[in-house]
């Protein structure tokens, strides 16, 4: 959401980073764990100092009580190195979202990236234990016929680079 409003939002950050609600890192004595928030921030690094690229994809609506909201959020940017990155957050806890984006004049041939997800909705990392959740290679992207098709698993964050 911040990225789509770069004309107003010039900087966004996390206020506190260690051992707080929505922490980036958790510690217990000399032990440390990277949280899912840490991993998402790392995955979004290409968006820092990047140029916003408008992208449109119609998301189905999810219901929460009387309220509804889009099942996914999507953003794109041209990074400082000239590469185009697309980020998608699928808020649907049960369903894959298939998204098709026209590439316009972009001459990309491949898309590669990372995904952060887990079978359990509340998966988290614990200081001193092996990581339960961390980014993995994303295999659900395909470029064909001038379009990028993405199969975004339920409850996941995906960032892909177009080459």
Q: What is the pLDDT of residues 85-96, one digit of tens each?
A: 999 999 999 999
For residue 22, name the pLDDT band (cuts at 50, 70, 90). Answer: confident
Q: How high is the pLDDT of residue 8?
A: 85
> Average pLDDT of 126-134?
97
Q: How far apart are CA 54 and CA 101, in angstroms?
A: 11
Q: What is the distance between the alpha carbons of residues 73 and 65, in angstroms, rounded to a whole number?
A: 20
Q: Does this model's pTM top 0.85?
A: yes
Phi, psi (deg, nearest 5) at residue 46? -60, -15
| pLDDT tier for residue 4 given thresholds of 50, 70 and 90 | confident
Q: What is the mean pLDDT of the chain?
A: 94
pLDDT at residue 2 is higher than 80? no
Q: What are phi and psi of 152, to 5 degrees?
A: -100, 115
In this prediction, residue 1 carries a pLDDT of 73
């Amino acid at each position: 959401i911040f990225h789509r409003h770069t004309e107003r939002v010039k900087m966004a950050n996390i206020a506190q980073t260690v051992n707080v609600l929505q922490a980036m890192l958790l510690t217990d004595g000399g032990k440390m764990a990277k949280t899912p928030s840490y991993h998402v921030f790392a995955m979004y690094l290409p968006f820092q100092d990047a140029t916003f690229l408008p992208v449109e994809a119609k998301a189905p609506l999810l219901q929460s009580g009387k309220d509804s909201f889009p099942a996914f959020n999507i953003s794109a940017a041209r990074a400082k190195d000239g590469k185009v990155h697309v980020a998608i957050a699928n808020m649907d806890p049960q369903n894959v979202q298939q998204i098709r984006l026209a590439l316009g004049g972009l001459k990309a041939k491949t898309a590669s990236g990372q995904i952060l997800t887990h079978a359990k909705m509340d998966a988290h990392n614990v200081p001193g234990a092996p990581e339960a959740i961390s980014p993995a290679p994303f295999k659900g992207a395909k470029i064909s016929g001038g379009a990028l098709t993405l199969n975004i698993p339920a409850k996941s964050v995906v960032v892909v680079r177009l080459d």
